[in-house]
Amino acid sequence: MRTLAFDGRTGAAGDMICAALIAAGADPAVLDPVEDRLPIRYVVDDTLKNGISATTVDVLLTDGARGHDSGSPGDHGRGHDDHDQPNHHDDHDQPNHHDDHAEHAGTHRHYEEVVAIVESMDLDPETSRVVFDAFELLGRAEAAVHGTTLEGVHFHEVGADDAIADVVGAALLLADLDVDRVVTTPIAVGGGEVRMSHGTYPIPAPAVVEIAERTALTLVGGPVDRELCTPTGAAILGAIAESVDGIPALDVTGSGYGAGRTNLPDRPNVLRSLVGEVAADPTAAGSTEGAGADETGLVHDDVAVLETTLDDATPEVLGGLHDRLASAGALDVTVVPTTMKKSRPGHHVTVICKPVAASRLAERLARETGTLGIRRSNATTRWVAERTFETATISVDGREYDVTVKLASTADGDVYDVSAEYDDAAAVAAETDLPIREVLRRAEAAIDP
């Protein structure tokens, strides 16, 4: 299983996550859709942090608007409403750019406006899911802290251009790395206190604590008395990563360091990233429960299950339901005929999603179908196979055709199912006049698991 591991011993922020992903091998060119939609540009550079070569990512305004210093641990507070902005002014590590930094600059938006901007970027469904999960975490954390609702939160830093650039950028870069699983060690939050306009608060900031409560993130104090983890950084990691005690056993194929803006006196202020295949020995330290595998030999994954029954949904609504919910972050959608009260024919709809996406998907399901109630079941875990893809080449009348084949295996690499992709097989069948099932058979037979 191709795994990305974050080592958060000096905290995390949105720009540090983006930088760590690029340092691990992601292509910065995938960030173009964000630059096309927002008046910002990304600047990727190198720096030294206490002797460690690291990558930096700065989000700069391109329209002449004024911004604040870029927000990384030590001089951030990204994710707070502006009336709760920490009073940090460290800028001894600032790059010399002519453009203004975009932190907290640009239009401040409501949650619905942020969603509309993201939807206009035409991201793929999985990338959209990550972005929406992260922003929902941020929004609900702020709503809980300030005693309001998600819709009532007026995003300031969370809805500013730099926060959107960080969250969407991280999702795009993660997709480019093409990993099967993301894990993170406990995230250092720092210590001490931070001054906000309402008074002095202990670190971690209230929104970071709320995000940790809603996700699998593990927080740890220290190692210095200053703020090390931003709400934006916590929300991104909470949306994509499982928490592990230590870095799992990996055959490392890529690694790097995403730099924070502040220099710490006795350690590099960096977020380390490692990419690699989980070590073949499933009993190796960190490679079982922490990597998502257990005694079943399959991979366990935290999920929420939503259910509703419909007695008045039209075929057109049901036919488009899967795509509509998938675009909002659903992992799977099933629609099964059933019999309801008074012997009426109906349909039972089941939606599987990440726990952080459950509220958003429940609302989307209600709006799409008009249902009056949605149940969330007690299921919290699913077991899934490791999935890899290979290309099978088959010969028909002297010509060769490629068909993608999916291999399902246990966590230790034991392949138990080989399935050719239907769309590829259908295309070959249309061109060769072979039955689709014959193309599927030949493609699967060509693979030696």
In whole angstroms, give the CA distance from residue 413 to residue 415. Answer: 6
Per-residue confidence (pLDDT) for residue 152, from 0 to 100: 72
Cα angle 389, 391, 396; round to 5: 145
In whole angstroms, give the CA distance from residue 121 to residue 136. Answer: 18
CATH dotted code for 300-383: 3.30.70.1380
Cis peptide before 315 (omega within 30 of 0): no
**256 CB neighbour count, 10 Å cutoff:** 21
Residues 6+ apart with CB under 8 A from 238: 133, 134, 137, 211, 212, 214, 215, 216, 217, 356
In whole angstroms, give the CA distance from residue 305 to residue 266. Answer: 46
Per-residue confidence (pLDDT) for residue 294, from 0 to 100: 56
Q: Kindly state the average pLDDT of the residues 136-161.
A: 76
Q: Kindly give the residue spans of alpha helices, DSSP state H, lying in 178-280.
A: 206-214, 231-240
In whole angstroms, give the CA distance from residue 261 to residue 443. Answer: 52
Q: Indicate the burial class of 125 (C-beta count within 10 angstroms; 0-12, 13-18, 19 or more).
A: middle
| Statement: residue 430 has pLDDT above 80 | yes
Per-residue confidence (pLDDT) for residue 108, from 0 to 100: 65
**36 CB neighbour count, 10 Å cutoff:** 9
The confidence band for 57, taking pLDDT boundaries of 50, 70 and 90, is very high
DSSP secondary-structure letter at 279?
P
| CATH tag for 385-445 (out of 3.40.50.300, 3.40.50.2300, 3.10.20.300, 3.10.20.30) | 3.10.20.300
DSSP secondary-structure letter at 41?
E
Q: Which residue has the higher pLDDT, 390 or 107?
A: 390
Q: Indicate the burial class of 399 (C-beta count within 10 angstroms; 0-12, 13-18, 19 or more).
A: exposed
Total length of the chain: 449
Percent of the chain with pLDDT over 70: 83
Write phi, then psi, for 396 (nearest 5 degrees): -135, 115
| Statement: residue 58 has pLDDT above 90 | yes
Parallel, antiparallel, or unpaired: how do β-strands 181-184 and 2-7 relate?
parallel
pTM: 0.66
| Statement: residue 351 has pLDDT above 60 | yes
Q: Kindly state the average pLDDT of the residues 17-46.
A: 95
In whole angstroms, give the CA distance from residue 258 to residue 10. Answer: 11
- For the chain, how many helices (H) and strands (E)? 11, 20
Q: Kindly state the average pLDDT of the residues 213-223.
A: 87
Angle between helices 111-119 and 125-146 (to 10 degrees): 170
In whole angstroms, give the CA distance from residue 209 to residue 203. Answer: 9
In whole angstroms, give the CA distance from residue 106 to residue 359. Answer: 28
SS3 assignment, position 249: coil
| Statement: residue 105 has pLDDT above 70 | no
10 in Cβ contact with 188 (< 8 Å):
yes
Mean pLDDT score of the chain: 82
Q: What is the pLDDT of residues 240-281, one digit of tens each?
A: 998 888 888 888 999 999 999 888 888 999 999 999 987 654
In whole angstroms, give the CA distance from residue 275 to residue 315. Answer: 44
Per-residue confidence (pLDDT) for residue 1, from 0 to 100: 75
Instruction: Pick the closest to residue 369 from 330, 340, 331, 335 (CA basis).
Output: 335
Q: Kindly state the average pLDDT of the residues 140-162.
A: 74
Per-residue confidence (pLDDT) for residue 289, from 0 to 100: 38
The confidence band for 14, taking pLDDT boundaries of 50, 70 and 90, is very high
Q: Kindly state the average pLDDT of the residues 275-302.
A: 57
The confidence band for 288, taking pLDDT boundaries of 50, 70 and 90, is very low
Per-residue confidence (pLDDT) for residue 196, from 0 to 100: 65
Per-residue confidence (pLDDT) for residue 79, from 0 to 100: 33
Q: Kindly give the residue spans of alpha helices, DSSP state H, lying in 178-273.
A: 206-214, 231-240
In whole angstroms, give the CA distance from residue 443 to residue 404. Answer: 8
| Statement: residue 290 has pLDDT above 60 | no
11-25, 54-68, 183-197, 263-277, range with the lowest pLDDT: 54-68
6-10, 303-307, 326-330, range with the lowest pLDDT: 326-330
In whole angstroms, give the CA distance from residue 383 to residue 410. Answer: 10
In whole angstroms, give the CA distance from residue 52 to residue 47. Answer: 8
User: Which residue ranges make up each domain of the chain?
Assistant: 2-278, 300-383, 385-445
| Statement: residue 300 has pLDDT above 60 | yes
Q: Kindly state the average pLDDT of the residues 100-129.
A: 77
Alpha carbons within 13 A on the beta-carbon side of 99:
16
Per-residue confidence (pLDDT) for residue 281, from 0 to 100: 44
98-102, 166-170, 425-429, range with the lowest pLDDT: 98-102
Instruction: Return the structure tokens found at 448.
Output: 């030696």
The confidence band for 166, taking pLDDT boundaries of 50, 70 and 90, is very high
